[in-house]
Amino acid sequence: MTTSDIFFIIAAVGIVLVIAVLIPALAQLKQTALKAEILLETINRDLQPFLHKATEVSEELHALSASLNEKVEKSEQIINTVQQAGDALLSTASLVKEAVTPVIVQIAAISSGVAAFTNFFKKNQPSERRYFDE
């Protein structure tokens, strides 16, 4: 037996061993590929309704967002109107205060003068009560 015969025998045994190891690995790989295919089909089948529902939810959220934006704009208009009314009321109150204050001061001055005048004459009137009547 020559070295080349020994080499061929070792090579043949190595090839047989490699094939013996590869056959179960390839069988397992085939089973894994079948399970992956089944899983992908299940995901694809279940994913379609989920995507449909997600699209519906997205459209509803878009509609709600548009409605909310519209209501916020209306609220801003109302707030601006109330603010303008408040400013107008404040300026009107200031104008009325400026117009009425001098009149009230004059009335108060006249009232104080009349009260002082009547008090002066009340003090000068003789008292109805006498000290010896008690």
* 131 lies in some domain: no
How do residues 71-120 score in pLDDT, each as one tens digit? 999 899 999 999 999 999 999 988 888 888 888 888 888 988 888 888 87
Q: Is residue 31 part of a domain?
A: yes
Domain extent for 61: 3-123
- For residues 45 and 48, give the distance between their C-alpha atoms in angstroms, rounded to a whole number: 6
- 133 within some domain: no
Q: Look at residue 108 in the predicted model and tell me its pLDDT.
A: 87
130 within domain boundaries: no
Number of domains the chain contains: 1
Rounded to two decimals, the pTM is 0.42
77 within a domain of the structure (yes/no): yes
In this structure, is residue 83 part of a structural domain? yes
- 8-12, 14-18, 48-52, 120-124: lowest mean pLDDT where? 120-124
Q: Is the pLDDT of residue 70 over 80?
A: yes
The pLDDT score that the predictor gives to residue 39 is 93
Model confidence band, residue 3 (pLDDT cutoffs 50, 70, 90) = confident
On whether residue 128 sits in a domain, the answer given is: no
In SS3 terms, the chain reads as CCHHHHHHHHHHHHHHHHHHHHHHHHHHHHHHHHHHHHHHHHHHHHHHHHHHHHHHHHHHHHHHHHHHHHHHHHHHHHHHHHHHHHHHHHHHHHHHHHHHHHHHHHHHHHHHHHHHHHHHHHHHCCCCCCHHHC
Locus of tokens 């590929």: 33
pLDDT higher than 60, residue 134: no
